[in-house]
């Protein structure tokens, strides 16, 4: 009996081992080397929260660029950051994205036409009368997006509209699908300005039902004419984030203040003693904040300056620099010195 046992068990182990080693040898050679590195960052519990059965499958899809790094819930924000940095070293890097809600008009700004007293869910409100605001493309503020966010990154503010906390958002995209009005979009994380309006209405009467609603006046298009980064499509401005444009000028010039700037305090420009007074910077400033006589050092009116950085590009002696402010990354946008 002992002999039979050992024989049978031994043969089973041998057969199984040979089969497995042969098959895994054939497979290992074909895999993208990134997959192993990504898989090591994942928790390996195969819980299925990302929508895929195995951590290995998710790792493979992220390496191929078919899945966003933020999909792993148990891994959380830290894992998503690490995976993004792994992917960043590869030629086909996926850009880090974050979600933004294209609506600014809450209780303080938008007028109501009715009082919705139904199930506190955006989909339910859409089915039964489209909510309580006059604007038919506004955020309903009932929190369908809040419920699907696994990181707690989106919440309904005191003003009654949803807003994303960029620090917690991993760009997984679940809220994008959950919003019945398609208000949420994923934009590159480096950009801090987006449009806070979604309405397809145009004309001055928009300001009657929403103090921050877009009237499609086209001033933002004009303000970013040099880079042609904004275009009007179906009565709503579309921001092209692939263009070399930081949208600060457009955001400042908008008469309805439709843009949302995630940076609380923008840095201001300062001109130092290297300035030779060539006056090249004076005409490019969109708010006419720079003044000075020819061949004398120019000065910046800090009250007017919006920190758009256009003047940095034209100064041939590099006398202009941005001072102060929070959260502005020099390597991001049009601050690249020539």
Site of interaction with another protein (CB under 8 A): 4-5, 8-9, 12-13, 15-17, 19-24, 26-27, 30, 44-49, 51-54, 56-57, 120-121, 123, 144, 147-148, 178
Residue 45 Cβ vs another protein, minimum distance, rounded to whole Å:
8
**Residue 184 and residue 95: Cα distance in Å, rounded?**
18
Q: Which residue has the tokens 């929508």?
A: 51
**Residue 17 or 277: which CB sits closer to another protein?**
17
Q: Which residue has the tokens 């290992």?
A: 28
169: left (phi > 0), else alpha (psi -120 to 50), else beta? beta
Helix (H, G, I), strand (E, B) or coil at 181: coil
Residue 156 Cβ vs another protein, minimum distance, rounded to whole Å:
14
**Residue 20 or 226: which CB sits closer to another protein?**
20
Residue 27 Cβ vs another protein, minimum distance, rounded to whole Å:
5
On whether the CB atoms of residues 140 and 202 are closer than 8 A, the answer is no
Least Cα distance to 253 among 286, 226, 288, 281 occurs for 286
On whether the CB atoms of residues 133 and 113 are closer than 8 A, the answer is yes
**Residue 50 or 248: which CB sits closer to another protein?**
50
Residue 260 Cβ vs another protein, minimum distance, rounded to whole Å:
27
Residue 68 Cβ vs another protein, minimum distance, rounded to whole Å:
16
Q: Which distant-in-sequence residues (6+ apart) come within 8 Å of 285 by Cβ?
A: 310, 311
Sign of CA dihedral 290, 231, 334, 170: positive
**Residue 9 or 299: which CB sits closer to another protein?**
9
**Residue 43 or 313: which CB sits closer to another protein?**
43
Chain centre to alpha carbon of residue 318: 31
**Residue 30 or 242: which CB sits closer to another protein?**
30
Residue 146 Cβ vs another protein, minimum distance, rounded to whole Å:
10
């Amino acid at each position: 009996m002992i002999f039979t046992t050992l024989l049978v068990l031994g043969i089973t182990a041998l057969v199984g081992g040979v089969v497995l080693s042969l098959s895994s040898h054939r497979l290992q050679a074909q895999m993208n080397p990134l997959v192993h590195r990504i898989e090591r960052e994942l928790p390996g519990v195969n819980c299925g929260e990302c929508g895929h059965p195995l951590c290995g499958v998710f790792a493979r899809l992220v390496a191929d660029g078919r899945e966003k790094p933020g999909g792993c819930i148990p891994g959380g924000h830290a894992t998503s950051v690490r995976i993004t940095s792994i992917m960043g070293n590869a030629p086909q890097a996926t850009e880090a994205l974050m979600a933004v809600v294209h609506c600014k008009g809450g209780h303080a700004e938008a007028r109501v036409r009715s009082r919705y007293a139904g199930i506190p869910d955006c989909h339910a409100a859409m089915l039964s009368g489209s909510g309580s605001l006059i604007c038919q493309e506004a955020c309903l503020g009932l929190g369908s997006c809040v419920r699907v966010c696994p990181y707690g990154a989106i919440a309904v503010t005191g003003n009654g509209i949803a807003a994303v906390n960029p620090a917690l958002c991993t760009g997984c995209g679940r809220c994008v699908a959950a919003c019945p009005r398609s208000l949420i979009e994923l934009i590159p994380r480096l950009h801090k300005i987006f449009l806070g309006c979604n309405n397809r209405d145009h004309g001055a009467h928009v300001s009657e039902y929403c103090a921050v609603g877009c009237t499609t006046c086209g001033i933002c298009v004009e303000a970013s004419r040099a880079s042609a980064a904004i275009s009007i499509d179906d009565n709503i401005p579309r921001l092209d984030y692939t263009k070399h444009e930081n949208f600060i000028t457009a955001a400042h010039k908008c008469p309805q203040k439709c843009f949302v700037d995630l940076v609380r305090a923008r840095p201001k420009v300062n001109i130092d003693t290297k300035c030779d007074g060539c006056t090249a910077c004076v005409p490019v400033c969109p708010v006419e904040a720079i003044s000075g006589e020819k061949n004398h050092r120019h000065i910046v009116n800090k009250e007017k300056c919006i920190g758009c950085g256009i003047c940095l590009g034209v100064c041939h002696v590099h006398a202009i620099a941005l001072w102060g402010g929070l959260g502005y990354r020099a390597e991001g946008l049009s601050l690249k010195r020539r």
